[in-house]
A and B are shown apart, each in its own frame.
Chain A
Amino acid sequence: MRIRLLHLTLCLTSATLGAAIPNAAQSQASRAAASAPARSGYADVNGLHMYYEVHGGSTSRPPLVLLHGGGSTIGTNFARVLPLLSASRQVIAVEMQAHGHTRDVDRPFTFEQCAEDVAALLTQLHIAKADVFGFSNGGTTALQLASHHPAMVNRLIIGSANYKRSGMQDWFWPAMEKGTFADMPKPYADAYLKINPSQEGVHAMHDRDLKRMLAFVDIPDSVIHAIQAPSLVIVGDRDVVRAEHAIELSRLLPHGRVSILPGGHGEYLGEITFPNVDDRMLRVFVTLADEFLTSPINEP
């Protein structure tokens, strides 16, 4: 869902964004390089050769698994918050089918399949239970993971993700219908090509994400309502995901909380398309996430 809409988001906010995006991409890349993973590797899961990174050593807290959004890589979504998040816990980040280091395979590309891949990876890494933070399409995958593998999910953070078509702003779907590869934000294409310099690969990523989004099927309320993991739902006040949807999701989840932060889709994360976000804003997100993940469960 990051493909066309981000182009629109950028158009809408370009006046305030200021700095040129390609420069931002470079600075993001250098940031990512500055926080290299402790180790990285590939796991063979469900026929996929899946890339993952492990940041930080294991701690008494459950590891935190990061699931990126559409058109994205670990770096484009998480480069800026990853060092902050991994300061206090082990962080495991993955790249989904057809994204970043993980090549596409001849297999349906669905949220459910991505969730299965994450579950299989965790099993291979001998991780019985993890906290999961999914951003955008990664948030939808995180919901599927919690639904299909409840025992593996300790707590959930759902960032700027929809579980129903109606969760997106009205303009989103017509824009998606018209989306083409040319609309993909350049930092996304650049980030992909830096990892895998294949035009075929970057087109496959785009086409996979666009097709999956156009075919988006609502997750039934009953499925969401059955998720027992304490969950924090986050969106921006100018997000492509509607604030009302975030509130609805947080209420449907039996142990849901919600935060709405000023900004666009992923701005609170310092996502690559928001190069001007300052560190203070990142700390707002990181402290919210950290407090949520470490707070005692005190459901009334």
Chain B
Amino acid sequence: MSPDSLGARVAALVSTIKASVAPKVSGEPNGVAPARAPSASRAHAPPTRTGYAWVNGLRMYYEVHGEGGEVPLILLHGGGSTITTSFGRILPLLKETHPRVIAVEFQAHGHTRDVDRAFTFEQDADDVAALMDHLYVERATVFGFSNGGTVALQVAIRHPEKVERLIVASANYRKDGMHPWFWDVMNKGTFADMPQVYKDEYLKLDPRQEGLFTMYERDSRRMMQFEDIPDSLIQGIEAPTFVVTGDKDVVRPEQAIDLSRLVQHGRLCILPGGHGEYFGEIMFPSAGDAAVRRFVGLANEFLLAQTE
């Protein structure tokens, strides 16, 4: 697999989470934006309710889809993303089998404004945990994609009592979990490389260019400063964990294998496709319904399986 073989698509995708010389934004607005409806692409899967919760100094946007079930499914999006870009396609299918799905938008993403606070995977994880408290959710199944998968690991590490099961999709926990070319691309990328669809989706929720720049910059810097999660912490994860990646993903399959073996109850799944293609991430509009349903079926099999 070469950078060329993956094409501009992945290069552009990864550029959304890379360091750059993106314009500095001053006077970061910390104000309250009116909630906007989820974008039209999700009109067929409207949330039961949406809201903002004050967590750790952040006014965090969340959506609740359905009110049933004791253990909800929580969705954590990737870098440069919103609920819609990561999960717009799969959410309606997840709702068919999960009585309650909760999706969040992280600091500086989508509806959730940036705040003057460090932006780390650990902080995101603490925000998710605080949101669960806010919603009186004791335990949840956490499904994180890409950077959201790294956050999901941190939720399980830092708040193990809150995590029933984990789905870690196309996420790395080590720098070498990415193909080597990824870091080269990261070093060279600029805001201009960010996929237009990500920009468009962000601006639908918050039409401020500076907000979009901030998201880009936050994600880029965090990725460039990525530090390996020590094996010992991964080994401490007791929640049954489903590790998924694409066979042409930016995450190396070898790392997916390692992760699935390091956690105490790990299963592994590698599916044909690129970064998120197997569940219809927005960069892959041509992903077939059958493929998306297949992933949902596999995820549900994992969630229903007895633990050994």
Contacts and interface: CB of A to CB of B under 8 A. Distances in A.
Nearest to A256: B247
Interface of A: 15-16, 232, 237, 243-244, 247, 250-251, 257-262, 280-281, 283-284, 287-288, 291-292, 300
B188 interface: no
5 contacts: A244-B257, A262-B267, A280-B297, A281-B301, A292-B272
A244 B252 CA distance: 11
A240 to B, nearest CB: 15
A260 B291 CA distance: 15
Given A15-B308, A16-B306, A257-B247, A243 B298 contact: no
Given A243-B257, A247-B253, A291 B272 contact: yes
Q: Is the interface of B mostly helix, strand, loop or mixed?
A: helix
Interface string B237-271: 00000100001000001100100100000011111
Given A16-B308, A291-B291, A262 B4 contact: no
A160 B217 CA distance: 44
B192 interface: no
Contacts of A281: 301
Given A237-B260, A300-B5, A288 B272 contact: yes
Nearest to A262: B267
Contacts of A292: 272
B1 interface: yes
B247 A287 contact: no
B31 to A, nearest CB: 45
Q: Which 6 A-B pairs have the closest CB atoms?
A: A260-B270, A237-B268, A300-B5, A258-B247, A262-B267, A243-B257
A291 B298 CA distance: 17
A300 B272 contact: no
A25 B163 CA distance: 39
Given A244-B254, A258-B247, A291-B291, A237 B269 contact: yes
Interface of B: 1, 4-7, 242, 247, 253-254, 257, 260, 267-272, 288, 290-291, 294, 297-298, 301-302, 306, 308
A241 B271 CA distance: 17
Contacts of B294: 283-284, 287-288
A262 B302 contact: yes
A291 B291 CA distance: 9
A257 B272 contact: yes
Contact of B1 (A251, A280, A288, A291): A251
A292 B290 CA distance: 13
A237 B291 CA distance: 19
Contacts of B6: 300
Contacts of B291: 287, 291
A284 B297 contact: yes
Nearest to A285: B294
Nearest to B298: A284
B267 to A, nearest CB: 5
B272 A280 contact: no
Given A243-B268, A258-B272, A280-B301, 6 more contacts: A237-B269, A247-B270, A251-B1, A257-B247, A258-B253, A291-B288
A128 B272 CA distance: 28
B293 to A, nearest CB: 8
A68 to B, nearest CB: 24
Contacts of B268: 237, 243, 260, 262
A260 B271 CA distance: 7
B6 to A, nearest CB: 7
B267 A237 contact: yes
Contacts of A243: 253, 257, 268, 270
Contacts of B271: 259, 288
A113 B7 CA distance: 41
A283 B260 CA distance: 24
Given A284-B294, A284-B298, A300 B257 contact: no
A162 to B, nearest CB: 16
Contacts of A260: 253, 268-270
Given A300-B4, A300-B7, A262 B269 contact: yes
Contacts of B297: 280, 283-284
